[in-house]
Structure 1
């Protein structure tokens, strides 16, 4: 613990679920964490409170990703939050976690849903990095939260899978481009994780058991399972790992 002391992290979608677990873990490791949220201010405040109660440092930042001027709004709030804490407008760790899912196969997907999914899962991470280049310090870390759906064919989530696949392509390309600055870029692919996202799919014990059986360990993932992998990629221990997608699905689909 403490390996991230003196570093600043930004976690998009950090108010709930996997994002909250990531923000809490990075703060426990010593980072100052900006907890981004889109509309659920109470959850973001709760995440910040949980971190500060545990002795960490965090603040909330609001921006609706996929909306006009989303990246500008986010970084204005980010810089303002840092200034209020007497910190410079610098960034060491960017975790692109914010996301949502709209189920549907090829016959059900709509243009509107496809555009929204691509904007949030692929477009926002791209432009957050682009606009964040002047803030990202040498030796920084970028971690993109992908999905096991890019490896295992889930026909009920076609547009979501396409958006996450674009995010993985971005990961590989940025890893090569930012390598000279010693910035690593990797993605993490969770499987079925017990969070609010898609909770209707495992709302009964029978449904949860069905999803748990898809893992080699016979259980669903927990947010901390993903946060621990992200923490490794955010640390100095991962300095020789870049351009990779780390499967954190518990062996789903093996």
Structure 2
């Protein structure tokens, strides 16, 4: 079935809000259909599906906690069923490992529980979900792992979070090397500070926006759509010779 339908399909984790939602809509805008996951925000996910459908594309929302590795096999089965029933496909083309959260705590005060929570979603989850979904990713496809500008510049309170993303950047290179024989490209996108509800929405206030803009070479705060556009570009054929790269999307933050 996989060769019958040439419609491009992406799977985006955490696609119900924030950067994930922007990723979904940006890909829909270039003609890509989407499977998006959500952990708890079912109504948000359904709204995103409706927005995609209003743009003339197809979307399906599936529940998934990306920190629970034991659920990945059954999630892959659900994904396989959705691909067959919705698209007459047995593979999808693009995987965007976007789902995430942050614990803001100094290195000295970070607890083992916080550390383990971050490992579960940002490293272990990304590693084993991608591994589990590999049979469903089409040859010639693309994987994007979401990192952070905090692996280049330092903001106190993000030591554990940034350490996980640093590991993801190294993982990205190994995936690119090992999956390259299948024509699968793997890159990481590292957003700078973005005015979303991430980390409790601390970057959405007017004061925060003004400060973020003052730190960027392009003199404005980053928006979720800036990241969505970069990911849409990166998975497209226009970027077909780009793999194993860390692409920072920060407007030139903290240069």
User: Where does the alignment leave 5 or more consecutive residues of structure 1 unmatched?
Assistant: none
Matches within 5 A, 1:139-158: 139-158=140-159
Give, in whole Å, the separation in 2 of the partners of 1:38 and 1:164. 20
Corresponding residue number in structure 2 for 1:165: 166
Give, in whole Å, the separation in 1 of the partners of 2:70 and 2:111. 24
Q: Check if 1:9 corresponds to 2:10.
A: yes
Q: Check if 1:238 corresponds to 2:247.
A: no
CA contact (8 A) 1:190 1:247 kept: yes
CA contact (8 A) 1:63 1:73 kept: no
Corresponding residue number in structure 1 for 2:207: 206
Q: CA deviation at 1:25?
A: 1.4
Give, in whole Å, the separation in 2 of the partners of 1:181 and 1:203. 41
CA contact (8 A) 2:196 2:204 kept: no
SS in 2 for 1:189: strand
Corresponding residue number in structure 2 for 1:106: 107
SS in 1 for 2:179: helix
TM-score, length-scaled by structure 1: 0.94
Corresponding residue number in structure 1 for 2:123: 122
Give, in whole Å, the separation in 2 of the partners of 1:173 and 1:74. 24
SS in 2 for 1:133: helix
CA contact (8 A) 1:98 1:120 kept: yes
User: Where does the alignment leave 5 or more consecutive residues of structure 2 unmatched?
Assistant: 1-5
Corresponding residue number in structure 1 for 2:57: 56
TM-score, length-scaled by structure 2: 0.93
Give, in whole Å, the separation in 2 of the partners of 1:126 and 1:233. 20
Q: Deviations over 1:143-164 (max 9, x none)?
A: 0111000000122111100111
Q: CA deviation at 1:202?
A: 3.2
RMSD of Structure 2 on Structure 1 (CA): 1.4
Corresponding residue number in structure 2 for 1:182: 183
Give, in whole Å, the separation in 2 of the partners of 1:75 and 1:52. 23
Q: Check if 1:195 corresponds to 2:218.
A: no
Corresponding residue number in structure 1 for 2:229: 228
Compared CA separation, residues 113 and 73, structure 1 to 2 (3 A): farther
Give, in whole Å, the separation in 1 of the partners of 2:33 and 2:227. 19
Q: Spell out structure 1 runs of 4+ moving beyond 6 A.
A: none
CA contact (8 A) 1:71 1:124 kept: no
Question: Would you say how many aligned residue pairs link Structure 1 and Structure 2?
Answer: 250
Corresponding residue number in structure 1 for 2:3: none
